[in-house]
Amino acid sequence: MKSWKAMIAALGVGAMVLGIAGAAAADPTNAKKGEIRTIECDQGLGTLTIALNGNAKLTPGLVTTSTQVAVPYRSHIEASFTPTGGEIEFFVDDIEKPAPSNGRLAVCTFHDEGPAPGGTFVLDGTVWISYTPSP
């Protein structure tokens, strides 16, 4: 059971600059620098496509369509994993560090689901970010 929790955590946190999941479902424990993710944000930011800038928890991401940077400071992930032929299992993960004081803060959400080693997963999350101004 702990291995799927690690997988979901890696998918939900490591594979999200900010909490984003997606194509990492093929190998969610191997989130890599340069992966591309999509999130929906408030504060007029809308849909952002982000390139991961590392593989640590809450690592910054670069917006692919501009020079903006999104820096996560908090995430909340709710996930479920259903092993093949087994019962659904639930997982919640929260990570937080102090919010920056720059005033450019937004809340973003994401959703992903699909196959995973040994079963299927569903992942929903919220990530709080600080962002650089748009050029």
8-67: pLDDT as tens digits: 544 544 344 333 333 333 333 334 566 788 999 999 999 999 997 777 788 888 999 999
pTM for the full model?
Answer: 0.74
Helix or strand run (H / E) with residue 51: strand 46-52
2-6, 57-61, 73-77 — which one is most confidently predicted on average?
Answer: 73-77
Question: What is residue 29's predicted lDDT score, i.e. its pLDDT?
Answer: 34
User: Rounded to 10 degrees, what is the CA torsion of 43, 47, 52, 56?
Assistant: 50
User: For 86-108, what is the mean pLDDT?
Assistant: 93
CB 125 within 8 A of CB 108: no
